[in-house]
Structure 1
């Protein structure tokens, strides 16, 4: 066997293995990229499907809301002449529906169903003059009457003519207000149905493309599949698509064939090159040496020629190293392509994950701190919308370059630190800063990064209204893993946006606990069942003779999940989330329902004080609700006092002022609560549409100090001069009681008098009050 064949048999397996490993690594990387791309594409298409569904859902809600608050509907519900109602008023409702409906909708229907379940009015956008409300739609209305939930959107897949999107609401004809769940049997049902054509078209397109049915249900049984996507259409309705196995197999088949032929061609080219190199640098020099040796043995020559190649073994080593370097370069290039963001040329999310894991392990083993900076560009979508995606891409590239410059400068000033910079997605970036344990360079770095876009981001002579919000979290102080570090930095970043953007906010345990607490309270409020979870307590206020004049109803909430939640905690959350309307309705109804017992305990002249959410004062329906409930419970309006906070009263707009004036015009009393803690001018004091001023406990505590008694008397006298009754809150000592009575205060309320009590406890307290307790004494009495 010749030396060339021996060399080929030794080197060929090595080259083949290297090529197979390179091809396998490249294939696995590209396969993962292909699956990830298909997953992202599927997620995006389901997001588009959700957007289309949300459009129909929003349209359905807005149209039903507009109709339910229209004058035509109110006239229809209150009209007793059925012929006139169905023909004339029904036509007006139909015209309202047509004017509000989108002309591109293929089907829209609206039904009004009487409390007995019989349709009072039905209209649909079809050509059939004999169309009627379907049995399935009637079943949805019947179930909605029995359900404690409100405003639930129903996707009816089995409707005649195709799936429908239904929204059912209820209205009391007498008060034109939404009924409580227990009142729905006496309310008219309103149902608006639309056919979501665009949503159905997208659904059919997805099913045709992926060869599988799109599942829509409240919940799904778990299914294991490499490619699957699920999206929430509503809180209780989800859509899932699991593509046919053939869909992914077809795409992977083409990738496998491409790598097979490519690897074969590369292998052939490498073998040919090696054969040429072996012949030229291995076998040929040896053959020449052998020929020279043969000539020398045969005495044909005297000496061997000087080697011109520098030695065969050395050259063979150099060429093997060259070949190895080429293969290594190819592998590095494949890895670089899969780990680099194509737009900004910095690390992508996958590479960031690898680097983050490595840096985290170094800190865990050798000590040090690791900080994660989660950055999000503020108003970046506005740049894309107004200036186009090319401008947005240019801005992202420029931002990445400038951040890189800041990081280089930071490392020059702090040689002991190490940084990693990556683009995670869209306009989200992340930086990992590894530093010694006692190093505190993070504030300087965040300050420099925020300064990049303070006042806007200037690029190519144009200033874009873009800034950067940064959330930071550190290991080991804030997190124990990379995943936790990323999650908590993201939480801090959203807090930075909430604080006005273009700031850096560090993570804190209080921040996470506060967000989790707010989310938990809001979730429980959305599922609130008033009769099971809410309760009222009552706090009496007495006059100078010890007689109970008013009794304030105070709300208490005992959540089955959270336990007892303070009103000071859940009321602001309910108001911000728009959930307080049903709570106010429950409080008004329950409090007025207890008036008969209060009157039995304290006499027919006792006044019931009810706190009303300030968010309700933008809607006149609160006035209608108060009138209707007072009439229902047989209470004279002057026996009810509605309490508003001073801070809100000081900001009364013309709209809310009208609502408060309407409440007073209906005969109800109005009280300004927590007086003295807001910012109130004398002019506002004179213009307050109020019957009672309730001094806040903080100002009561201060003004009852001996040196301020004259000021207390002056404030009480001024309020009384305006015809307003003065009530002092927070009376918890005999000294305070004496000072307030000496100043002429009308009513006293506080723990000295009585803490908040249930009706039963209030009855026991009333019996002891009149049997044992003497009347309060004025100062010097």
Structure 2
């Protein structure tokens, strides 16, 4: 049988089967994709339904809370004159409801029910002047009054006139607080009901699209097979939609028909084309070449015939041996390149993994130990920024060369050890040291690597302020696998950076616990409910006369898992994980919302100081948010001061400097916090777009000593000469306050004045200060004088 006939008999069924399998596989893949897409689309629409529900729920809750906290409701509950209460105060409540309604609602009602069950006030958005509570609303009031626990917001599907979202609460008229369950018989009942129009529209749209109604109930049974999805509308309400089988069946029929027709046509065309091409370009030439190769293998000929047509088979015959040799050489070169870092010409990450795996296996077999040194160049980014990437590349090459020299010298001094050096990425390197436990020389090698950059890295008669941080982990002491060894060495390296850089730190159980706690804190921050876990406290700052001029907002976090976590611990983790914009937004919103209480305590000119994360200053979103929130709460921007740490202010780029200037142009004040702990130059201090300089408590501790009085006075005078107000932090003794007063400091803040307090604690503090000042004035002798700062 000829080669052509064999090709026809063999290739034809193979190609046919392959095409059918490919078509079948493609169909199954598309079928799975279609089902997944339909499932995802259904889930997305249910989440849109949930979003609409939550919008109404949030609106309902916020409006009811706002009414409860309003003066109009307080006057209404305490007013005995029924006509005045219903007409004048009721109108104010209506106006409050309308002003709080940010969305177009088809129906909204608000009712106040007296303790005896009589409706004291009812308002709804209908045009009927004789509107009253319907039976459903009355039933909900009765059930709420009899309930022993606080009820969730209720969604009523079959209410008169259409579904309603109802929120019911209680309030004592005397104290305007929520009653205990035993006091509900004495309390007024407040009920706010809205018709969630958009939610109802989405629900009806889903019903029309899928031909099945959306189930809404507190509890749903097991998920039925097929296209079905459910979503949690709230903690006590779920929604589910299960599409009928015909919905998916129709789409699958269309898909299968398309694949059947298309697959058949493609299969036939492919087979015909392949057979034609194979016969013309492969079968006949290969048959001739096969004959020559057979003769060559049987030693019937010394070489292949020269090709007569000069085609592909002819050139293949002529160059077969040369191509084989070149391919072998190329493979060797590719392997060498793939395992070598192109910049430093040492091992790269891929080769490092191979070397590490081999050394790890050898350690397991021979009982040796394997040390991993994870090396990171400190301040390398500054070299690239200040001297260019060419200088940075040259530094990396020379560092790799010197490090390799240190390893070579170590092997000569410690025979029997094996080492490997690799560049993992950027300015990160790794060293493997395999040795016996008795002759590891690990400390000696670590000191040699640290010495390469001790006091900076000198290159081409220039000294670069670059050092190395090294993290060390050993197998099997610190890790069970190489992956774990690499992770723990990386953890130790970050600890070396945290301890001031230019150091080596060995992995320990304490580091593992610290790393685990950081991960737990980050997980808790990602799931953070600010309203439940965060709270604000305020630390007042007083002027030279003892009057409160500003209050700094400080954040406190009590995690349900970790308990109370200090800001110094969780704020850096939140910034590194990119989670602080959410926290900043919460702090800004709550701080501005509570500003009127500060005004009531300290007067309209009191300044609210808010710390913001440095990561927020990369664009103008922070400024826009501040402007929007200040306008929302009707607070003049000049009463808000944004505090930046001095360390970050010293690194302001042109973009972030522009953001700070934009904040000031919008009317907000800017303060440089923690001044004296960074690397500020005189030129930078002159260029700071700041209104206030806050001296850090560390520099206050040093400069308030008697021998440093002149230096303190000079620093304060210099800042004031630039038009900046000086605020001293950490004032905890009268001696420090006296020194700062003598130096001419403008503001004072610290535990001598007041520790951070909640708003309620501030009220008590103000009351105590007022009584103390009153007693001081009564006891003061004629002609006497109260020393400056004594009132603080």
Q: Provide the TM-score with structure 1 as the length reference.
A: 0.45
**TM-score when scaled to structure 2?**
0.44
